[in-house]
Amino acid sequence: MILRKLKLVNFRNYKSFNINFQKNINIIVGDNAQGKTNILESIYTLALTKSYRTTNDSNLIRLNQEKFIITGETKDEKIFKKLSLELYKGNKIAKINDNVINKISNYVGNLYVILSSPDDLQMIKGSPSERRNFLNIEISQLSSNYIKKYNEFNKILKMRNDYLKLLFTNSLCDVNYLDILTNNLIDREVEIYIERNNFIEKINENITNIYKDITGINNLKIIYETNIEIEKFDKDHIKKVLENKYKKNQQREIAMGMTLYGPHRDDFTFEIDNNDIKIFGSQGQQKLAFIALKFSEIPIFEEITNTKPIILLDDIFSELDKKKKNKLIQYIDKDYQVIITSNDTKDISKKILKDANILKIHDGKIVEKGGENNGRK
Ligand SMILES: Nc1ncnc2c1ncn2[C@@H]1O[C@H](COP(=O)(O)OP(=O)(O)O)[C@@H](O)[C@H]1O
Ligand SMILES: [Mg+2]
């Protein structure tokens, strides 16, 4: 799929902005703080209804304004769609072809994006919740079942935690009700574990080779870490493990007033020959690990969605040597729509630049358009 047009109204530093993308490589260049990342952020937000840079949606509205509107026109085979997302007084309105879509799960999945940004480093360095967040976002794009089960899980988890607290303070409460909540929770947890494991297994089919091609280093793998002992990712097995875990730890959970086991405690690590790169890897190795992770997702998205995702690469070239940059570029197949931001194009190969759509941004405006062929064709 491709994004043909993007229109921003009062989004971040853009007042009223129109941009056309071509079907292959698009490069947004400009100095720092001109709005390059904001463009990728708007595409991401249009796809997922949420930004990856802030949890407070109102930060996305241009200062002193009261709403933003992002509109995008997509093309997938012969199907054209117009997507729009609007935020006004804390309400988000998502539309497809001008029709309001009330359920987020019916909206997400109309625009597939894979974004690699410097913030991804948090995925390696940050807390487990950053990594769980990554899993949630990526799998939500691929499975509406996941969004549904995950939302239900969160609601039941909260109810269960509240009830555990109540049991602690009031011993007259009915423990049978806890069992009902536990069983409801387990049903959702089983699905979440299986979906997360499937996703990580698929990543591992690709990431080792990609990382080796870029860095020459072998054996990068992602290790899924759950806080229950799962021997095989089979529904009945996981169900039994969870049932036992909750039964054994009931008193402890009541005393602590919270659910101690489950996917809300999941984590994963990046390992090279069984060494966690968070501890042993250099900054460069870590950066390339998350880029390799994002590139590993491309074939997974394609297989599941039957369309090519749009690849958004924010500033991935900075701090990398020329050789690694070119290795990365080799992965940007001509068949994908890619939108890259960069301070300049100096290290990008002539071959790529020749056919690229280059857009220079200054202070929220396009000040120059064109690739090498611009004006000559
Ligand atoms: N809500 C907002 N309203 C107006 N300007 C904003 C808003 N949020 C961010 N900006 C501005 O956007 C600019 C940064 O844009 P960004 O896309 O991150 O730059 P870069 O080109 O370095 O990627 C800064 O000048 C910042 O002040
Ligand atoms: Mg930026």
Q: What percent of the chain has pLDDT over 70?
A: 97
Compute the distance between CA of residue 94 and CA of residue 100 in angstroms, rounded to an integer. 6
Is the predicted pLDDT of residue 41 greater than 50, yes or no? yes
Q: Name the range with the highest mean pLDDT among 139-153, 232-246, 311-325.
A: 232-246
Pick the residue whose CA is nearest to atom 25 on ligand 1: 33
Backbone torsions φ then ψ of 104, nearest 5 degrees: -60, -35
Whole-angstrom distance between the N-terminal and C-terminal Cα of the chain? 26
Pick the residue whose CA is nearest to atom 16 on ligand 1: 35
Q: Which residue has tokens 């997302």? A: 85
**pTM, entire model:** 0.85
Ligand 1 binding pocket includes 38 (Cβ within 6 Å): yes
How many angstroms is it from 33 CA to the middle of ligand 2? 7
Q: What percent of the chain has pLDDT over 90?
A: 76
Ligand 1 binding pocket includes 58 (Cβ within 6 Å): no
Q: Would strands 365-369 and 357-362 be described as parallel, antiparallel, or unpaired?
A: antiparallel
User: What is the structure's pLDDT at 369?
Assistant: 85
Compute the distance between CA of residue 62 and CA of residue 87 in angstroms, rounded to an integer. 11
The CA-based angle 347-283-360, given to 5 degrees, is: 35
- Region 233-241: mean pLDDT is 98
Which pLDDT tens digit goes with each residue over 48-69? 999 999 999 999 999 999 999 9
What the chain holds in terms of domains, given with CATH numbers, is: 1-112+307-377 (3.40.50.300), 115-306 (1.20.1050.90)
How many angstroms is it from 124 CA to the middle of ligand 1? 25
Ligand 1 binding pocket includes 35 (Cβ within 6 Å): yes
Ligand 1 binding pocket includes 64 (Cβ within 6 Å): no
Which pLDDT tens digit goes with each residue over 279-327? 988 888 898 999 999 999 999 999 988 999 999 999 988 778 878 877 8
Dihedral-angle region of residue 35 (phi above 0 means left; psi in -120 to 50 means alpha; beta otherwise): left
Q: Which residues surround ligand 2, an ion (CB under 5 A)?
A: 36-37
Nearest ligand for residue 39 CA? 1
